[in-house]
Structure 1
Amino acid sequence: MSFGRSFTVLCPLFLLGVAGTSSGNFRQLPGSTVKPGSPVPIKTNDSGVQKAARYGVYTYNNSSNDIFLFKESHINKATVQVVRGLKYNLDVNISRTVCSKRKHPSLDRCHFQKSKKLRQTFRCHFEVWLTPWLQRVEVLVSNCQ
């Protein structure tokens, strides 16, 4: 079992151009331009990016005074950084849905507002830190304009 766990931890590091040494220290692989711990661009349709964006939206909805829920309408840019888990930096457009906050439906079933008067979109920057082995998610930054 230990082998599986080690493989899971080292696999993302290997993809980032980092290798472990016998002393437990990490070094950069020859020819790699990525430095250990540096943010790396990641596709916006990656499932981890999608989940991190949703956590950011939940944080926004919990702090907003709007009577309607917002959800992500477009993920513009994403990076991931290996730091005792995964830290996602996301630039996301969020838009108002037809779902009211009182009913708390699943955001997956909420459609965007069609009425011109009620349509609203914000551009947000979210920093979301996932620590899967602790089953912990923390939204470090939630800034929407």
Structure 2
Amino acid sequence: MFSIWKVSLLFVVTLALAAATIPGKKDRPLLGGWRAVNVTQKDRGLQMALTVAIREHNVASNDKFISVISNVIQARRKIVSGVLYDLTVQTAQTACRKSNSAPENCSENELSRLSRHKKCSFVVYLVPWLKKEELKQNSCA
């Protein structure tokens, strides 16, 4: 006869196998987990996160010239008490000096001939209903 622990073990294994074979379960992200953002579509939250990221990056950097985002490589978001954006981008240095130009007036059209391109990772925290914007992580290579 089966003992109670063998029946329990068999039940647990059966449940695990059933859960593993449910179609579509693997494709859905975890609730509260990271979700990819389509960078080719106009996403208002993504645009806001990119603006905050490059603005704060320019403030924190020791560069004499303003940088702009030239390419969004990857973006994902996570809903927390606001929205967290994890961004991987390529930046390019413009010919606009920080001391002479307002960043919003300096675009990719002003890229210098010797523009340095960097791959940067940013984590931006946004709470739009409280008008809160914060660059949590900023690293470039």
Per the shorter chain, which TM-score range? Answer: 0.7 to 0.9
- Structure-2 change in CA distance of 1:34 and 1:57 (3 Å): same
CA apart distance, 1:88:
0.4
Q: Does 1:135 align with 2:134?
A: no
Count of residues in correspondence between the two structures: 114
CA apart distance, 1:81:
0.4
Q: Does 1:57 align with 2:54?
A: yes
Q: Does 1:83 align with 2:80?
A: yes
Query: Residues 6-85 of structure 1: matches in 2 within 5 Å?
Result: 33-44=28-39, 45=41, 46-85=43-82
Question: RMSD over aligned Cα, in angstroms?
Answer: 1.9
**Which of these residues, 96, 116, 122, is aligned with residue 93 of structure 2?**
96
- Structure-2 change in CA distance of 1:77 and 1:122 (3 Å): same
1:103 & 1:85 partners in 2: Cα distance?
35
Contact conserved, 1:79 with 1:89, CA < 8 A, in 2?
yes
TM-score by length of 1: 0.71
Q: Does 1:123 align with 2:119?
A: yes
CA radius of gyration, larger in: 2
TM-score by length of 2: 0.73
Q: Give the percent of matched residue pairs that are identical in Structure 1 and Structure 2.
A: 26
Secondary structure of 2:99's match? helix
Q: Does 1:113 align with 2:108?
A: no
Which amino acid is 1:78 matched to? Answer: A
Which amino acid is 2:115 matched to? Answer: R
Which amino acid is 2:100 matched to? Answer: K
2:65 & 2:112 partners in 1: Cα distance?
13
2:59 & 2:103 partners in 1: Cα distance?
14
Contact conserved, 1:92 with 1:125, CA < 8 A, in 2?
yes
Contact conserved, 2:93 with 2:112, CA < 8 A, in 1?
no
In structure 2, the gaps of 5 or more residues are 1-23
- Structure-2 change in CA distance of 1:68 and 1:86 (3 Å): same
1:112 & 1:50 partners in 2: Cα distance?
20
1:20 alignment partner in structure 2: none
Identify the structure with bigger relative contact order (alpha carbons < 8 Å, sequence gap 6+): 2
